[in-house]
Amino acid sequence: MRNNEIIGILLGGEIVKENSLVVSWQITQACNLDCFYCYGSRREAGVCSVPVKEVIGCLKNTNKDCLVVLVGGEVFIIPNFVDICKQLIDADIMVSIETNLSLTSAIIEFANRINPVKIGCIYVSTHILEREKNGTKEEYIRNVILLKEKGFKVRVNYVLHPSLLNRFDSDYEFFKTKGIELLPRPFVGLYKKLFYPDAYSRKERALILSVNPDAGREASLKGTKGILCNAGRSFIKINENGMISRCAGDCTRVGDVHHGVNLFEGPRPCPNKTCPCWGWGFIADSKARDRLGESFIKPSLRSQIKRYCYENNRWGI
Mean pLDDT in residue range 157-175: 96
Tell me the pLDDT band of 251, cut-offs 50, 70 and 90.
Answer: very high
Residue 205 in domain = yes
Residue 122 in domain = yes
Instruction: With a cut of 80, say whether residue 310 has pLDDT above it.
Output: no
Give the number of domains in the chain.
1
Who wins on pLDDT, 124 or 7?
124
Beta strands in the chain (DSSP E): 20-26, 65-71, 94-99, 119-125, 154-160, 182-186, 189-191, 194-196, 221-222, 228-229, 235-238, 243-245, 253-256, 260-261, 268-269, 274-275
Q: How many CA atoms within 13 Å lie on the side-chain side of 122? A: 29
Who wins on pLDDT, 7 or 118?
118
Cross-strand pairs, 195: 190
Residue 19's pLDDT is 83
Residue 39's pLDDT is 64
Phi, psi angle pair for 59, to nearest 5°: -70, -40
Residue 245's pLDDT is 97
Residue 313's pLDDT is 72
Residue 254 in domain = yes
Residue 9's pLDDT is 45
Mean pLDDT in residue range 272-280: 80
Instruction: With a cut of 80, say whether residue 17 has pLDDT above it.
Output: no
CA 129 to CA 163: how far, in whole Å? 11
Mean pLDDT in residue range 216-222: 78
Tell me the pLDDT band of 65, cut-offs 50, 70 and 90.
Answer: very high
CATH, residue 179: 3.20.20.70
Tell me the pLDDT band of 7, cut-offs 50, 70 and 90.
Answer: very low
67: nearest Cα among 89, 93, 97:
93
The vertex-301 CA angle with 297 and 304, nearest 5°, equals: 85
Tell me the pLDDT band of 302, cut-offs 50, 70 and 90.
Answer: confident
Max mean pLDDT among 15-29, 35-49, 232-246, 286-300 falls in 232-246
Residue 65 in domain = yes
Residue 4's pLDDT is 44
Who wins on pLDDT, 220 or 9?
220
Amino acid identity, position 315: W
Residue 171's pLDDT is 98
Lowest mean pLDDT among 44-53, 64-73, 88-97, 296-305: 44-53
Classified as helix, coil or strand, 122 is strand
What range defines the domain where residue 248 resides?
A: 3-311
Lowest mean pLDDT among 61-75, 146-160, 221-235, 284-298: 284-298
CA 180 to CA 138: how far, in whole Å? 12
Instruction: With a cut of 50, say whether residue 13 has pLDDT above it.
Output: no
Residue 317 in domain = no
Residue 43's pLDDT is 56
Residue 185 in domain = yes
Count of residues making up the chain: 317
Cross-strand pairs, 47: 28
Mean pLDDT in residue range 251-273: 94
Pairing of strands 274-275, 221-222: antiparallel
Residue 265's pLDDT is 94
Residue 27 in domain = yes
Instruction: With a cut of 50, say whether residue 239 has pLDDT above it.
Output: yes
